[in-house]
Each structure stands twice: as C-alpha cells, then as structure tokens.
C-alpha cells in the first residue's frame, strides 16, 4: 500500500484506534513528542522482539556458514558528558537553523523550501495561480497576484510578512520586468514563489519566505541537537549532562567490559534497543522525525582488513530483515551516500529507504548502515586514556577494531508498518483495514459471543482465557457483531472467532478472515492450532 495513503487519514486512524496519541494532548500537545497507545506499544514491541530475536538470540549465519557472535546491552541514557565530546557530538552535532523575524518560528535551513510548499499561504497562492491555468505551469500573472496579496482573507491573513503582501508595488514592477524579459516562460508555483522571494533580493532586500507567515528569515545559524540537563543539586557547567542522541555510544563505552567478561573474539557484535533524544529543529511527518524516538543499533567489531566484507554482508542482511516483515519490495531501496554526505566518523554509508506517503514517489531513510572505521574507539581511547585495543592471539597483533553499524529507527519501523498496512476498502463498514503481517499485528485474534446471552459469553470467555496464554487476543461482548468486526479491521486483527448458537450443538465457532472477510467454521478445540499455523505460514 504505502504511497497512496493520506497521512491525515492514517494519523486519525492511529488516534481513533489507540496506536499513537499526541503527547500531552490535554495541554495542547508538545511538538515532536508522541505517546504510543495500547495497540501502538504492542506493534512496537513486536518489531523490537523480531529485531532482538534475529540480531541477538539467533543472529544470521556468517559467510562461513557458522552463527555470528552477538551480545545484547542496555546502557544508560545519561553518560559522562566527556562521552559526547569524544564522539564529536558536542562539537559537531549541529543543524543550520533560521528564525523568522516576524513570527519568531525556527526552521531547519535545509527544510525551508519543502515546508514552504506545505504551507497554507503557499497552497492558497498556488490555487490563485492555478485559476484559469490548465496545468501546473503558470504565467506570472501580476493582477491575480495583487488580488491575492491585498485580499484580506488571503495574503494579508495567511502571510502578512510575505514580500508581495508587504511591498506589492515593488513586487509588481519586478513581475512586469520579468515578463518583459521572458514573455514565453511558464513557472510552476514553487518556482514563481522562489522568484518572488529571492530573485528580487537586490531590488527589495527580501529573502527566503518563512513557511509559516511568509516573513523574512535570518541567516542560518548552527544549533546543537542534544538535549541538556543537570545531574545533582547544583546546576552549573560542571553538572551539565546530555540525553543521548544515539544509542551507539553506550555500546562503544562498554566494548572493553564485553571483551573482558563475555569471552567474545573478533568479529562480534553488541546490540541495543532504546530511546534517543534529538532537539530536532523541525520535527514533522507524524512519528517520522520526532524529538524522542527509539533506535535499534548494532555495532559489529571486526579486523580492519575485513571491514569492507562485513559492510557488504550487513547491508544485504538488513534489507532481508526489513523484507521479512512483509514490506513490499517495491517500497524499499538502498541509497549510497555521496562522499560529501558522509558523517564525520563514516568511511561509507548506505541507507535502507522506504517510500513514505510524504516522500513518494521518492524515498526516505529508515535505516543507515555505516562503516565507522575505528573512529569511535580511537576517540574514546584518547579521551578516556583507557586502552581499547584488541589483541589477536592468532596473529599476535594489537589494533583498534573497525566497526560496521546497522542503525535503524524502531519508531520509524512502526510508521513503515502502519503505512504499509493501511488499506482503504469501501466494501466494508470501516472503509479501511490494517493489513498487518499476522506476526506483527498488535492483536492476533478477536474472541466474541454472537450475542451477550444464551450461554455464549461464558463459552467465549473460556476460549479467550485459553488463547490469551499464547496469543494477544481481545474478548468483546459489546455492540453488534458487525461493529466488533469493523473495530478489529481497523486494529488490523487477522482473525476473529465467534461463538454462536451452533457452538453448543456441534462445538464449532466461526472464523472470520480480516483480508477476505470470508467466514468458515472450525472446531473450538482447533482455534489455538489454527492461529499457530496461520501465523507460521504467513509471508
């Protein structure tokens, strides 16, 4: 599914059915923070458990056909602040940021134009240009533009700071000159807005418009993304600490502990799932970019001359893993980073990207697989004065291991599964159902009595008590059976079992299949086996 999903509808379903709620909603929310509701946490845990199983408990077989060595870790969110100096985050974890001089909102400089095209004033302006135009390309029609700029309900209300609203005469004369210079040229709306905002800079001093109000933005300034706090009673520079912006550094800090205690030999990996915090300048696209999120990261330590081989190995394994979750092949791609895109620590990096509804037809990041060289261990060795070299008993050599890092977003994985599952269907009362792979569905089975009388609830509750030991399931007696099926369709529950009048006669229940809405009867004693088989068989 994915690319055709309207994000507003998906966000509404997530709220309606208890997947994701805006954090602090009763206080008006807080930008960049989300709460995972009863179904959201179950979905998130299912993804986390699948990762842990395939990364830590049953890691893949290596190129030699033997299982890889992997251990798990849960390190502290707050570490000694020297960690973040050594890792480069205090000096280098910055985004360029611009502030609007009119409305004082902050924006990431590299997101401004994307946000302009999503802004209400830009949409209104495009509609104005589109009136009477047959396609996307528009002429720069001065009269239309002036009407928009001066109309109280449009320009003045939507973007009082926009160049053309504040200074229509200068803009109009610029448009007249532009048309004279280039009478044949057609612009798409964004191009036209860029011209209005930037090309007339010399004449008017007007700059890139604020996506919110159209006002002037300041020059970009660097802004550190780490959240700061204080440890202890005294709040000064000496007690300043940071919330971790990635789980990875906790792994590097424990590299020596693991080597000393776990009898591991190179190559081996340390895996961790946990919260990370980034004071993102422009959190957006629902849970795609938030300020508090969860990562699933693994650091693979290996000999320097084997790093390339392992980089290629993990690249393939990680794509296979995402596909094992039922994500369509067409919605996933690899994207190699260009040299000038690489993070300060990285020798090579490839992203697994997904076709999100808001990036489509393009793709956006889901996971990065980075060749970090020996950057992190070398930095921590220098800053902590603790030896982090590995002694290879076979070759009698000492060296700082190189690292390959598959780093993925758990909460981004939740978004991908939500997008992928969303399936509009106007043949059913809910108009939509969530087609989760049964293994990841938050609820595997609904267990219902057809009516809340005639001994049916008692039989259904007994069945529920047996099944809940093995599978997450929901017992529900309220409302009509049609309404209960509709709720389960939106929750993405693959199977519903209904106890009805026939159950007492021949010990059978109805199974209703989510995807086809087909119904069949099976023996009540077979329900557990039915679920186990279906979940095991599902692709």
> Residues interacting with ligand GAP, by CB under 6 A?
246, 248, 278, 280, 289-290, 293, 295, 297, 365-368, 405, 407-409, 411-412
**67 class by beta-carbon count within 10 Å (0-12 exposed, 13-18 middle, 19+ buried):** exposed
CB of 290 to ligand GAP, least distance (A): 5
User: Among positive and negative, which fits the CA dihedral 259, 263, 267, 269?
Assistant: negative
Residue 42 or 282 with smaller CB distance to ligand GAP:
282
Rounded distance between C-alpha atoms, residue 527 and residue 51, angstroms: 28
Residue 148 or 252 with smaller CB distance to ligand GAP:
252
Residue 89 or 444 with smaller CB distance to ligand GAP:
89
The answer to whether residues 48 and 296 touch, using CB atoms and an 8 Å cutoff, is yes
CB of 296 to ligand GAP, least distance (A): 9
The answer to whether residues 427 and 485 touch, using CB atoms and an 8 Å cutoff, is no
Residue for token digits 């094992």?
A: 324
The answer to whether residues 490 and 432 touch, using CB atoms and an 8 Å cutoff, is yes
Which residues does residue 272 pair with via DSSP β-bridges, in sequence order? 73, 297
Residue 290 or 331 with smaller CB distance to ligand GAP:
290
CB of 20 to ligand GAP, least distance (A): 13
CB of 288 to ligand GAP, least distance (A): 6
CB of 228 to ligand GAP, least distance (A): 17
Alpha carbon distances (Å) from 168 to 31, 149, 174, 269: 34, 7, 10, 62
CB of 277 to ligand GAP, least distance (A): 9
CB of 437 to ligand GAP, least distance (A): 20
The answer to whether residues 124 and 148 touch, using CB atoms and an 8 Å cutoff, is yes
Residue 405 or 489 with smaller CB distance to ligand GAP:
405
Residue 178 or 405 with smaller CB distance to ligand GAP:
405
Residue 215 or 368 with smaller CB distance to ligand GAP:
368
CB of 373 to ligand GAP, least distance (A): 14
What φ, ψ does residue 511 adopt, rounded to 5°?
-105, 130
Q: What DSSP letter does each residue of 475-534 carry, written as one string?
A: E--SS-HHHHHHHHHHHT-SEEEEE-HHHHHHSEEEEEETTT--EEEEEGGGHHHHHHHH
CA angle (153, 155, 156) in 5-degree steps: 70
Residue 7 or 477 with smaller CB distance to ligand GAP:
7
Check residue 260 and give left, alpha or beta (phi > 0: left; psi -120 to 50: alpha). Answer: alpha
Cβ-proximal residue to ligand GAP, closest one: 409
Residue 354 or 485 with smaller CB distance to ligand GAP:
354
Rounded distance between C-alpha atoms, residue 375 and residue 379, angstroms: 6
CB of 297 to ligand GAP, least distance (A): 6
Rounded distance between C-alpha atoms, residue 309 and residue 372, angstroms: 14
């Amino acid at each position: 599914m994915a690319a055709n999903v309207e994000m507003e509808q998906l966000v509404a379903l997530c709220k309606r059915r208890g997947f994701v709620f805006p954090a602090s909603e009763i206080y008006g929310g807080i930008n960049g923070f989300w709460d995972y509701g009863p179904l959201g946490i179950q979905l998130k845990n299912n993804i986390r458990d699948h990762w842990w199983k395939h990364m830590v408990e049953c890691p893949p077989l290596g190129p030699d056909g033997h299982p890889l060595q992997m251990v798990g870790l849960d390190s502290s969110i707050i570490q000694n602040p020297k960690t973040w100096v050594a890792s480069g985050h205090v000096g280098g974890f910055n985004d360029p940021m611009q502030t609007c001089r009119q409305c004082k909102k902050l924006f990431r400089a590299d997101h401004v134009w994307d946000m302009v095209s999503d802004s209400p004033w830009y949409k209104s302006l495009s509609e104005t240009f589109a009136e009477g135009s047959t396609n996307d390309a528009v002429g720069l029609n001065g009269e239309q533009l002036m009407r928009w700029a001066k109309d109280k309900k449009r320009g003045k209300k939507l973007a009082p700071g926009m160049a053309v609203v504040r200074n229509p005469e200068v803009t109009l004369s610029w448009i007249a000159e532009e048309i004279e210079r280039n009478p044949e040229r057609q612009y798409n709306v964004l191009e036209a807005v860029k011209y209005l905002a930037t090309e007339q800079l010399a004449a008017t001093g007007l700059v890139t418009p604020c996506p919110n109000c159209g006002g002037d933005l300041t020059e970009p300034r660097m802004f550190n993304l780490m959240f700061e706090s204080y440890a202890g009673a005294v709040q000064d520079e000496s007690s300043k600490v940071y919330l971790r912006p990635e789980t990875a550094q906790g792994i590097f800090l424990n590299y020596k502990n693991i080597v000393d205690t776990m009898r591991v030999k190179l190559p081996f990996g340390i895996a961790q799932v946990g919260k990370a915090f980034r004071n993102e300048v422009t959190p957006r696209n629902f849970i795609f970019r938030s300020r508090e999120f969860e990562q699933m990261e693994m650091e693979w330590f290996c000999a320097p001359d084997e790093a390339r081989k392992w980089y290629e190995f993990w690249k393939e394994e990680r794509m296979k893993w995402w596909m094992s979750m039922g994500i369509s092949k067409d919605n996933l791609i690899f994207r190699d980073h260009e040299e000038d895109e690489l993070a300060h620590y990285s020798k090579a990096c490839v992203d697994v990207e997904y076709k999100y509804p808001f990036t489509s037809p393009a793709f956006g990041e889901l996971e990065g697989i980075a060749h970090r060289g020996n950057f992190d261990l070398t930095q921590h060795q220098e800053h902590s004065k603790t030896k982090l070299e590995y002694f290879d008993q076979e070759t009698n050599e000492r060296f700082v291991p190189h690292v390959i890092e598959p780093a993925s977003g758990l909460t981004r994985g939740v978004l991908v599964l939500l997008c992928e599952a969303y399936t509009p269907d106007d043949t059913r009362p809910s108009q939509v159902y969530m087609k989760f792979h049964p293994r990841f569905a938050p609820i595997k089975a609904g267990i219902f009595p057809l009516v809340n009388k005639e001994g049916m609830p008692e039989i259904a509750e007994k069945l529920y008590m047996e099944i809940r030991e093995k599978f997450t399931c929901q017992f529900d007696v309220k409302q009509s059976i049609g309404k209960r099926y509709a709720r389960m369709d939106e929750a993405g529950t693959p199977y519903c079992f209904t106890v009805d009048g026939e159950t007492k006669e021949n010990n059978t229940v109805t199974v209703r299949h989510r995807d086809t809405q087909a119904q069949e009867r099976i023996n009540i004693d077979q329900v557990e086996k039915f679920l186990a088989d279906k979940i095991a068989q599902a692709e």
